[in-house]
């Protein structure tokens, strides 16, 4: 009999990040398909409702506990090459319940077909779309896992630099924030990480960047000025190749005045939160995520003017319209 942690490690090996090949089981199309098939084996909570949002494009997740005015914008992981909102339905439903929020996920364009900065631009547009729907920025929380965690931080930096109002809080789970892959843990924990192979992550970084500087702040937000970003929760497991991405991010954020919290989960693999249906440590991490959200976007602070999805408030950006930035 395997333990819950052993089961999590075994399931992660199925979707291990490996170097891409032009065809065969390691092609990007095959790895996308494997992830979709694996995720389909996990049934989301029965009371969760999933609604396509063509204007993003993406998926809106709600549960009975979801408040109308508290919104999470979730950016999925997958090394900028694989993954989707459909893959994360169980995770977004659990985040919705823990945070008592609506969760919007976006299917941002993936590499290699759409290299950097396509994902960053899509995430910015999604955030401005939420503002256009009437959601107050302080009632929005930006979250992301793995590459989605790096994308969340890059989005925050870009929004700040554009002078747009920032969300009330942010959470990143096992974030990939250094595309130079220079942290000591990249080599030091390579034999402990069941999901990321070092040759694989190096190749995926080069494929996503497509010649761009890996130290570009919007590609690797570890090299960005983080001043002024909202309260940030960082979650990482001890068995991760990307462990040092999180620890260095925490130190840098704290030094630059960000209200940052680092949670280190002993014995946990990369993005262990996806195993909340059977792994207590994953369920606990999502509960902590929810507490972070509710601390910084508290209940009882309903903002006037919030409208249901599908309606357009006066003066807002209509659904499908191009946001102000490109």
Looking at 128, 240, 263, 281, which residue is catalytic?
240
The two tokens of residue 101 are 């929020």
Cα–Cα dist 72/152, whole Å: 11
Provide φ and ψ at 59, rounded to 5°.
-140, 130
114 is catalytic: no
81 is catalytic: no
Q: Where are the alpha helices (DSSP H) in 15-136?
A: 28-39, 89-99, 118-132
270 is catalytic: yes
Residues whose CB falls within 8 Å of the CB of residue 181, separated by 6 or more in sequence, listed in order:
198, 201, 202, 205
Cα–Cα dist 139/143, whole Å: 13
Cα–Cα dist 174/234, whole Å: 7
Q: Which of 193, 218, 223 is nearest to 208 (CA)?
A: 218
DSSP strands (E only) in 110-244 = 140-145, 169-173, 232-237
Looking at 81, 84, 174, 270, which residue is catalytic?
270
Cα–Cα dist 42/109, whole Å: 24
Q: What is the dihedral of CA 294, 297, 302, 308, to 10 degrees?
A: -90
Looking at 11, 66, 84, 146, which residue is catalytic?
146
Count of other CB atoms within 10 angstroms of residue 57: 15
Contact 6, 190 (CB under 8 A): no
What helix, strand, coil percent values describe the chain, rounded to 5?
A: 35, 15, 50
State the catalytic residues: 146, 240, 270
């Amino acid at each position: 009999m395997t333990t819950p942690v052993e089961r999590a490690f075994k399931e992660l090996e199925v979707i291990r990040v490996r170097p891409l090949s032009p065809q065969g089981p390691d092609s990007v199309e095959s790895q996308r398909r494997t992830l979709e098939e694996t995720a389909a084996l996990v049934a989301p909570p029965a009371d969760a409702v999933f609604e396509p949002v063509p204007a993003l494009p993406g998926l809106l997740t709600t549960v009975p506990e979801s408040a109308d005015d508290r919104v999470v914008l979730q950016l999925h992981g997958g090394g900028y090459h694989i993954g989707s909102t459909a893959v994360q339905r169980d995770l977004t439903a659990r985040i919705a319940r823990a945070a008592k929020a609506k969760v919007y996920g976006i299917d941002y364009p993936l590499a290699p077909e759409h290299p950097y900065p396509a994902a960053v631009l899509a995430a910015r547009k999604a955030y401005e779309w939420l503002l256009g729907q009437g959601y107050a920025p302080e009632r929005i929380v930006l979250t992301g896992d793995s590459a989605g965690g790096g994308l969340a931080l890059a989005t925050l930096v870009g929004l700040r630099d554009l002078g747009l109002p920032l969300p009330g809080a942010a959470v990143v789970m096992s974030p990939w924030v250094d595309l130079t892959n220079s942290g000591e843990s990249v080599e030091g924990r390579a034999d402990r990480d069941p999901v990321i192979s070092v040759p694989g992550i190096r190749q995926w970084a080069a494929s996503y960047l497509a010649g761009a500087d890996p130290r570009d702040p919007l590609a690797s937000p570890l090299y960005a000025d983080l001043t002024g970003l909202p309260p940030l929760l960082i979650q990482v497991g001890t068995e991760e190749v990307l462990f040092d991405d999180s620890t260095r991010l925490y130190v840098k954020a704290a030094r630059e005045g960000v209200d940052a919290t680092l949670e280190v989960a002993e014995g946990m693999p990369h993005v262990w939160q996806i195993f909340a249906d059977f792994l207590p440590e994953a369920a606990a991490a999502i509960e902590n995520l929810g507490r972070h959200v509710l601390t910084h976007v508290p209940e009882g602070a309903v903002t006037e003017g919030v409208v249901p999805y599908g309606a357009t408030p006066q003066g807002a950006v209509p659904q499908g319209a191009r946001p102000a930035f490109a």
